[in-house]
Amino acid sequence: MPALPLLAPAPIAVQASFDELGSPLRETVFVVVDLETTGGSPQSCEITEIGAVKVCGGEVLGEFQTLVNPGAAIPPFIAVLTGITDSMVARSPRLDTALPAFLEFSRGAVLVAHNAPFDLGFLKAGCERLGLAWPSPDTVDTARLARRVLTRDEAPNCKLSTLARLFRATTTPTHRALADARATVDVLHGLIARLGGLGVHSLDELRTFSAQVSPQQRRKRHLADGLPALPGVYLFRDRTGRVLYVGKSTNLRGRVRQYFTASEQRTRMAEMVGLAEQVDPVVCSTPLEAEVRELRLIAEHSPRYNRRSKRPDKALWVKLTVEAFPRLSAVRAVLDDGALYLGPFPSARTADLVIAAVHEALPLRQCTKRLSPRRPSGACVLAELRRCGAPCLGAEEGESVEAYAAHALAYRDAVTQDPSAVVSALTSRIAALAADERFEDAAAHRDRLTAFVRAVARLQRLSSLTSVPELVAARPTPDLGWEVSVVRSGRLVAAGTIPRGAHPAPYVDALLATAETVLPGPGPLPCATAEEVECVLRWLELPGTRLVRLDGTWSSPAFGAGGRRQLLDAAQQARGSASPFDDSRGLRPVARPARSFG
């Protein structure tokens, strides 16, 4: 794969106190909650007390405690266990007052509980009875974490009282909600300290720490140690060097570490990690470059554990053949033969649906034999059904070359400009079938029409970019710089960044001079796959993306329509005057020499 040159040196990552992935635990707000209830079933029992402690970075931010009037007598054994009696809760608020107050206290935080299914089950049931929306917060179960972290020698069981003694909690659990919540806070902090030695430093790693990753796989975490915390593509390889999996990320080191800490829950990924012996990084200057490189590397190596984008060369096209009496044919190769190609299609079924839709609307011949206008032949049953103009019979009995050419021209117009002819014909057919209560046949025609319309819309969308010989676009980065992309015939040929305050012209000129040279091939995708062109289109349509330079002519009517045409016209009129990099943030080009780059 030709290299995409970098416009400017990649930014230097600043390493924090520990390797961070996702939301760092030290910045995560936890609300540790404990409930006392009248029994063990959320459906038949009620909450009698709610206690919670809000913590962040090891500091207590606040506490919440309230008794709750259950509206029924508290069973004697519960009163003995918790010390909460009927007289204590007689003047306490009911659940419709206490629960909304707790939800407000815990808003936006991660809920932590010891044996979380019990406490969360009562909270969810209470919300359901009161008609409140359950906020579905992230949750952590300290009992489950303890079973994964501690050995039998350290703790014979994972009861809260046992763990409180092990981690020397400052509060002793007493089966009262606030006291138990305070003890759980100390247990949580003790477990997080243990997990830090296993490489768990973020919320994502904490909540997904489970038995799905074996100790052998977790020990392979060292494969991520040498990776940079920069955007790019990573390749997992086995001991023979064969590529097992290709992925992309804005933080290579952080993303790869997830595979060794159970953040990745897919079973096939666990199998892949078991085979991996090496991870190779490909640092990219922009997220778009990383996305494009990923697609190209997957197509190049066809990794066994990647499911998408592996064989773009196997895609199907619907071709309008070049002959005296053209017909539609499903092919895999796009040739430089002047034919009209529609696609690509991921499966033969979708291509067949499109062909069937066209045949319903236009009398293109469906036979596969080669016809000559000078040598008439026998007609097939489709001519008798008036589904074909029977050009095989010759001009005297069937359609002439000129008459048949009108059908081919109608199809060409439907694909490249306006599909109304096909849409109206199938819509009328669907309405007639529905009126006759032939709903299954109507549904079949609906599927054909849907496949055709989607294929035409996608082709016109892709052609809007592939018909442009060259364009340069830029969009602002969070650090007030710019990421720049050079696209030729729909292919990303160069990507780079411009530092904040730098004059853009030298960088853009250097990027153009070192961009990949492309030789457009035949068909609507002359230089890149459909997925790559769609990646570039999505990037161009992001808010804030600006057209910097534009060369060539716009040949696709789809691209020149509406606001997009106005945008391009405005950009061409402004060329040579105001810089497209000027914006409301006060960022202006500054006279400064360009940096050298390699």
Write out the H or E segment, with its range, that includes residue 128. Answer: helix 116-130
As beta bridge partners, residue 474 has 484, 546
d(CA 395, CA 376): 9
Burial class (CB in 10 A: 0-12, 13-18, 19+), 594: middle
C-beta separation of 265 from 475 below 8 A:
no
Write out the H or E segment, with its range, that includes residue 110. Answer: strand 110-113
- In our burial notation (b when 16+ CB lie closer than 10 A, e otherwise), range 497-522 reads bbbeebbbeebbebbbebbbebeeee
E-only strand ranges, 411-459 = none
Written as one string, the DSSP assignment of 509-520 is HHHHHTSPP---
25 phi, psi to nearest 5 deg: -65, -30
The three-state DSSP-derived secondary structure of 429-495 is HHHHHHHCCCHHHHHHHHHHHHHHHHHHHHHHHHHHHHCCCEEEEEEECCCCCEEEEEEECCEEEEE
Q: 579: number of CA atoms within 13 Å, CB side?
A: 15
Q: What is the largest CA-CA distance in the chain?
A: 106
Q: Which of these, 45, 68, 180, 179, lies nearest to 114 by C-alpha position?
A: 180
C-beta separation of 452 from 471 below 8 A:
no
Strand 546-551 to strand 243-249: parallel, antiparallel, or no bridges (unpaired)?
unpaired
91: alpha, beta or left, given left = phi > 0 and alpha = psi -120 to 50?
alpha
Write out the H or E segment, with its range, that includes residue 105. Answer: helix 95-105
Residue at 115: amino acid letter: N
Catalytic residue among 114, 175, 407, 503: 175
63 phi, psi to nearest 5 deg: -135, 155
d(CA 268, CA 304): 10
175: annotated active-site residue: yes
Q: Which residues are catalytic?
A: 175
